[in-house]
A = this chain, B = another copy of it.
Amino acid sequence: MNPSAAAIRIQKEYLKKTRKSHALYKRSVSCFPGGISHNIRYFAPYPFYTKLAKGKHLRDVDGNVYTDYWMGHWALLIGHSHPIVTSAVRRQTSHGTLFGTVNKLSLDLAYAIKEGMPRAELIRYSSTGSEATMYAVRLARAKTGRRVVAKIVGGWHGYNTNLLQSVNYPFELDEGLGLIQDEEQFVESIPFNDLERSLKILDTIRDDLACIIVEPVLGGAGCITPESDYLHGLQEFAKRNDALFILDEIVTGFRLSFRGAADEYKLDPDLFTLGKIVGGGLPIGVLCGDKDIMSLCNPVGREKSEVACYIGGGTFSANPLTMTAGLATLKHVKQNKSAIYPKINKIGTRIRKGLKKAFSDGGVDVDVTGIGSLFMTHFLNKDIRKISSASDVGLSDRDLLRKYHFALIAKHNMFFLPEKMGAISSMHSLKDADHLIDATHQIVQSRLLSLSK
């Protein structure tokens, strides 16, 4: 079968098994721009509609059951609807979901976070990661009295105005309509894993540099791990020049290990952000770090002339339902950390090796990046031989990646959000890894992925 015939057959299979989703999508486009509430949740020809999520599985409205490697934007370390979390949330629901006041649950979750991450000397909760990174920037500017924020080319810190820069390939273009140049002029982008060039750029802005914010492992940009000494080089530059070093651990926190990427890579950030896992599947963002810096946002007991840095908060911050879900999750992870992390990391390793071999056996040239329970396939071409930055990902064959992920969804009931990295939860098994590798082998054999360009 030639590639386009294979693609057409796969599309037909998807259409046939997702008829109810198709009908719902047709209704959705008259309610939501593009039929979605998050740009990346759309994929062609239309996304399936999830009805139930349990453990490692998603079930859609047509009854198809998918093994989930997207895991709620990589937030669900212990799977969907884990009984430990579910029972705690159900209990709390009857006791209040939004007190609108202080509560002990937020203190308990803070202790749980501090246990894994003692650098969280002081903590402030918000409701999304996007808010947390926005507040990190504000706090850095408040601390330093400087304006410029250095971020990584392709680094993703949410949709906030402050950091929505150089996110999508090609990175030198504006990130869409509605952002004004005056907001953009104080964001400088540096290339991941290229310390020499990064330092050169940083050097030109060091007098006005408020902070360097970086994901230790690039997540949205394509699951790219840091090369030896890159992060240390940035950290050292920041500290030497009185700028803050901010680690965005929204993806990596409590995923790489119970102590996060700062511990994994022996880093000492001034501030860091959390989200996803620490909310146990409910909305959260967390800003944490050095107590002197964090104290700048303390509104209590200031003299009238003394001005604080105003950061959220928000109506839903520290709400008892999120606190409960996060606490149940971190408690469970802590109790089982010597089982969970070796297990998910082992599955991750088997997948990275297995996928590489499956593709290479079929003559398809790929790089499979990742660390621990995170992984992603990149289709190489004559220009791109290795993936070590977001630009490399941008130049790789995204069309093949889409086809590969869609074939996994349509034909093998394995869900990757197309073009996004995969994550393993504690509910996955080594057998799942083997199934994924086997399915990949079949897809390679089907010639779907040949001759794309």
Contact = CB atoms under 8 A, between A and B. Distances in A.
A110 B32 contact: yes
Given A39-B299, A177-B309, A107 B314 contact: no
A186 interface: yes
Given A114-B31, A180-B141, A96 B124 contact: no
Interface of A: 24-25, 27-28, 31-42, 47-54, 58, 61, 70-73, 75-76, 80-81, 85-86, 89-90, 93-104, 106-107, 110-111, 114, 122-131, 134-135, 137-143, 147, 158-162, 164, 174-180, 182-183, 185-186, 275-276, 279, 281-284, 294-301, 307-322, 325, 415, 417
Tell me the number of copies of this protein.
Answer: 2
A83 to B, nearest CB: 9
A38 B313 contact: yes
5 contacts: A31-B122, A73-B98, A147-B180, A174-B307, A282-B319
B34 A107 contact: no
Of all A-B residue pairs in the complex, the 6 with the closest CB atoms, nearest first, are: A53-B96, A142-B178, A142-B177, A38-B313, A159-B312, A33-B298
A299 B325 CA distance: 32
B314 A129 contact: yes
B70 A159 contact: no
A15 to B, nearest CB: 16
A344 to B, nearest CB: 18
A272 B136 CA distance: 28
B49 A139 contact: no
Contacts of A131: 128, 130-131, 159
Contacts of A162: 161
A111 B31 contact: yes
Contacts of A122: 31-33
A102 B36 contact: yes
Contacts of A104: 24, 49, 51, 61
A107 B31 contact: yes
Contacts of A39: 299, 308, 310, 313
Contacts of A27: 107
Contact of A75 (B90, B124, B296, B315): B315
Contacts of A138: 161, 177-179
A310 B75 contact: no
